[in-house]
Amino acid sequence: MRFFTSFLLVVACTTFSYAQLVISEIMYNPPEPGTDTYEFVEVYNNGANAVNLLGYSFTEGIEYTFTSGFNLGAGEYALFAVDSVAFEQAFGVTAFQITNGSLSNGGELIQLSDDQGNVVDEVDYDDSFPWSSSADGFGASLVLCDLNSDNNDGANWDDAITGTGFISGGLEVFANPGGASACPGGAEVRFLSSTTEVAEDVGTVTISVEISNAATSTLSVQVVANTMASTATLGSDAMAMASTTLNFNTGDAVDTMDVTITIVDDSEIEPIESLVFDLANPSFGVSVNGVGGTTSVLIADNDATIPDIVINEIMYNPPGSDNLYEYLELLNNGDEAVDMTGFYFGLGINDTIEAVVLDPGDFLVLAVDSDAYATAYGGTAQQWISGALGNGGETIELRDAFGNVVDEVTYDDGGDWPAEADGSGSSLVLCDASSDNSDASNWIAGVQPTDIFISGSEILGSPGSANDCTPPAPQGYTPYNIGQVTTENAEGVADSLGTRAELTGVVYGVNLRPGGAQFTIIDGAGDGIATFSNSNDFGYAVTEGDEVTVQGVISQFNGLTQINLDTIFAPNSSNNPLVDPTQVTVLDESTESQLVQIEGVTIVDYTEAGGALNINMTNGSDTYLVRTDFDTGITEDFIIGLGGNTLRITGLGGQFDSSSPFTEGYQLLPRYEADIEIITSVDEPEWASELKVFPNPTANQFRVELEVGLQEINLKNQLGQTIRYWNVEGPVFSADISDLPQGMYFLEVIAAGERVVRPVVKQ
C-alpha cells in the first residue's frame, strides 16, 4: 500500500544496514501427486545479531508478512510452509503458514523485503542448469551450500543429500529444514533417472549412472540389486548382475556409464513389478547423491486385457475463486462390465477406486468435494482422496489394480486445447469416446447448457451423461427493460440468471476491456447493467452517449449482474443526453450500474490491483472504495495530486464480492478524470516548503523542524479527531508515538498564525 500527500513531497536519504538474512533452502516441487503440500522456504540469519522481523514480508514468490514482532537470532532459521501443519508432521520442525501463493515448479523469483519495503534478499531459482534437476519432483530440496556465497547463482546450490526418513509420493524426501545444509563434495555419482517404466516385452532396458566433478584418477561405484525392496525377481522376471562395478577413468567433469537389464516376457497375468537398484561402495573421494542413489525399473505386464475405460470429461478450473467444483468423468467405452475395484490414479490426483463395477456405457464421476458436486450439479460423485487438477494443465493417469496404464490424458489451458475451459464455465469434453483422447483436437470446451450457474457463469458440459459436442440450436432473445432483469434476491444473486435477453440503453463510460467489450448501459427508466465480452468487441467502438441494443445471457461476476454479450447492434443513435447522477451516502445493491455521486470525501490510501487503483476514501464517518481503471485515463499521478483535498466523486456503481452471499464489496467507478472534482483545496503558506517531518513512516518517534518557529502541533486520526496536542516553542520538536496503532495519521502544524497538514504513517 502507498501513502501520499499533495502538500509536500519530502525525500529523505537514509543509509540502511541490513542484517545478513539469507534465503538458504527451497523445496519447490516435493515428490507428491496433485497439490504440493510440503513446499517450504528457509531463511537463515547469517549475521552476528538478532533481527526483529516485524513488518518484514515476502514480496515475490509467496506471501507472508510479520504483523507482530519476531526475533530471529544469529545463526537461527525461520521456515515458511504452504501447509505448516503437514510440514511439522513430516519434518518435526515448526514453520510459519504462508498466507497465499505457492512455488512454481518451473522456477520463479522469491523476494524478502524489510519493513520499509527494501529488498533484503532474493533468489531467482530455476529447474534447469545450473540449478539441480533432482529438486524438481524427485525428492530433494535446493540447499545453499555456502551461506556466504551469492545465492542468486545456481552453481552455489545443490540438491540436499540428507535423508529425512519421510516418504512422499513413494520417494524419501532429502532436506535440511531448520538445520545446516549438507552438500556433496568432490566427485558425486547418481542415477540419471529415479524411475523407468517399461513393458514386459521391451527386451532390454538401460539404466545410466553419472559421475560429476570427476578427477583424472580411476573412480568406481557398484550398482547393486536391492532384492529386499524389489517385487520382481532376478532370474525369472529380469536378467541382470546382482552387483556390477562401474569404473570411471576420465578427466571430464561429467561422465556416464550404462547397465543393461534383460526383461523376461512370460505369459502370466501379474501386477506391475519393480526392480530396485542402489549405488553402493563408492571408491575413496566419491559420494553417492542422496536422491539419485536409488532407481527403480517398473515392469508393466503385457498379458492382461486393458479395459476400454476412457477419461471422458474434465472440469479442471470451474468458475469462481475456489476449486470445490472440480470433477473427472470416466466412461466404460467397452462391451463388458469392468470391476474397477483397486483402480488408481498414478498422476493428476490421489485416489484409489473402491468397489465399483462399471457397465458398458456407464459413467463414473469423481470430484474433489462430493457434497459440493451434489449441491452444484445435482448428481452423485465419488470424492477423491486428495490433490487437485492443475489450472495450467497436467497429466491425468488411470491405472488398473495391477498397475497397468488404462488411460492417460495430458491436457493444457492453451495451445491446441480450448482456452474457454479455463475458468469460463465449460468443462473439457471428449467428442468421440473412441478417438485418441491424448490429441487435443478431439476435445472441445463444453457447449451444452446445464442451467447450472456457479459464480454467475453457466456450466457448459455433461457430467455423468453422454457428451454432445453439437452446438445448441440458436435461441431467440426476449426484449426486456433493464430493470426487469437486474433484480436480486436476499443473497445478492440475480433473479434472471441464464435469461437470454435483448436490452437497449445509452452507453456510459469507456471500454474497460480493449480487445473485448466491457461498459455500462442505462435505459430511459434510469436502470443500468454492465455488459461483458471477453474477446469480441463486435466491431463497435464504445462511445459514451450512443444508444445501443445488445443481446446476450444474464450472468453475474463477483456479485455484479451483467449481460454476457452475444451481439451488439450499435449505434441506434448518438449524442444522447445522460442522466444526472444521484447523490448517495451508501454503496449497495441499489447503486449497481447506476450513475451516482458521493460528496465531501478525502483520500485515505490506495493500492494497485489488476490494471486499476483501489482507493479508500472517507467523509469522516464512512469509508468508500473507489476504483479507477487505467483504461479511463485516470493515472496514478492524477490521484496523488488530489491528496488532502475534499472531493466530489461521480461514477458507476460496481461490486466485487467473491463469495456468497454477494452482499459486500460495493465500489464506485469514475468514468474519466472529470468525474473527480475538487470541492476545496489547501493553499499553503510560504514557509510550508521548509517544513520537515521525519522519519516518515516511523515505528517510534518523529521529528518536526521549521526555521520560522513552531507554535502548535495536533496529531489527528483519519476521522479528523485530535488524539495528541502539543504547545511548542522553537524550531524543533519531537514526539514518541510508539504506543499508537499502525496506520495513517495527520499532523496539523501551526506556525506564524497559519496552518499546514502533513500525513504521518505509523508502522
CA distance 518 to 495: 22
pLDDT value of residue 13 = 31
pLDDT value of residue 642 = 83
* pLDDT above 90 for 529: yes
621: burial class by Cβ within 10 Å (0-12, 13-18, 19+)?
exposed
> What is the arithmetic mean of pLDDT over 1-14?
31
Residue 527 in any domain: the answer is yes
Instruction: Let me know whether 676 and 690 are in one domain.
Output: no
Instruction: Let me know whether 126 and 26 are in one domain.
Output: yes
Pairing, β 96-97 against β 77-81:
parallel
As given in the structure block, the three cell numbers for residue 180 are 545446516
Summarised one tens digit per residue, pLDDT across range 131-182 is 887 788 888 899 998 899 999 898 899 888 888 889 887 778 889 999 988 7
Instruction: Let me know whether 52 and 168 are in one domain.
Output: yes
* Residue that wins the pLDDT comparison between 185 and 340: 340
Summarised one tens digit per residue, pLDDT across range 504-525 is 999 999 999 998 999 999 999 9
Pairing, β 528-533 against β 517-522:
antiparallel
* pLDDT above 80 for 558: yes
Instruction: Let me know whether 35 and 117 are in one domain.
Output: yes
Of 112, 140, 174, the domain-final residue? 174
> What is the arithmetic mean of pLDDT over 301-326?
87
Position 378 confidence tier, pLDDT thresholds 50, 70, 90? confident
pLDDT value of residue 737 = 92
> What is the arithmetic mean of pLDDT over 221-226?
93
Position 4 confidence tier, pLDDT thresholds 50, 70, 90? very low
> What is the arithmetic mean of pLDDT over 471-487?
89
The rounded percent of the chain whose pLDDT value lies above 70 is 95
Summarised one tens digit per residue, pLDDT across range 691-742 is 998 988 888 899 999 999 999 999 987 666 788 999 998 999 999 999 888 8
As given in the structure block, the three cell numbers for residue 112 are 524478502
* pLDDT above 70 for 572: yes
Residue 3 in any domain: the answer is no
Instruction: Let me know whether 222 and 263 are in one domain.
Output: yes
pLDDT value of residue 357 = 94
Instruction: Let me know whether 32 and 113 are in one domain.
Output: yes
Instruction: Let me know whether 290 and 363 are in one domain.
Output: no
* Residue that wins the pLDDT comparison between 471 and 236: 236
Residue 169 in any domain: the answer is yes
Structural domain containing residue 252:
187-300
| In contact, 614 and 606? CB cutoff 8 Å | yes
pLDDT value of residue 255 = 84
**Which residue, 207, 190, 299, is CA-closest to 254?**
190
Residue 10 in any domain: the answer is no
Of 300, 335, 359, the domain-final residue? 300
Long-range CB contacts (within 8 A, 24+) of 668-671: 668/587, 668/591, 668/596, 668/598, 668/624, 668/625, 668/626, 668/627, 669/509, 669/626, 669/627, 669/628, 669/629, 670/626, 670/628, 670/632, 670/634, 671/508, 671/509, 671/510, 671/544, 671/632
Q: Which string of DSSP letters, residue by residue, matches 219-239?
A: EEEEEEE-TTT-SS-BTTTEE
pLDDT value of residue 289 = 81
Instruction: Let me know whether 296 and 314 are in one domain.
Output: no
Residue 321 in any domain: the answer is yes
* CATH, residue 493: 2.40.50.140
Instruction: Let me know whether 289 and 363 are in one domain.
Output: no
| Mean pLDDT for all residues in the chain | 88
Residue 562 in any domain: the answer is yes
Give whole-number Cα distances, 76 to 25, 152, 396, in Å: 13, 21, 41
Residue 182 in any domain: the answer is no
What is the number of domains present in the chain?
Answer: 6
Rounded to a whole number of angstroms, the CA Rg of the chain reads: 32
Instruction: Let me know whether 331 and 429 are in one domain.
Output: yes
Summarised one tens digit per residue, pLDDT across range 186-223 is 788 889 888 898 988 999 999 999 888 776 677 889 99
| In contact, 292 and 194? CB cutoff 8 Å | yes
pLDDT value of residue 323 = 75
Residue 194 in any domain: the answer is yes
pLDDT value of residue 525 = 93
CA distance 72 to 78: 7
* pLDDT above 90 for 410: yes
As given in the structure block, the three cell numbers for residue 485 are 432483469
Residue 80: CA count within 13 A, CB half-sphere: 27
* CATH, residue 231: 2.60.40.2030
* pLDDT above 70 for 6: no
pLDDT value of residue 615 = 94
* CATH, residue 755: 2.60.40.3080
* CATH, residue 339: 2.60.40.1260
CA 376 remoteness from chain centre: 24
Instruction: Let me know whether 340 and 442 are in one domain.
Output: yes
pLDDT value of residue 1 = 36
pLDDT value of residue 760 = 82
CA 75 remoteness from chain centre: 32
Strand, helix or coil for residue 9: coil
What's the pTM?
0.57
Of 460, 489, 506, the domain-final residue? 460
Instruction: Let me know whether 53 and 77 are in one domain.
Output: yes
* pLDDT above 80 for 12: no
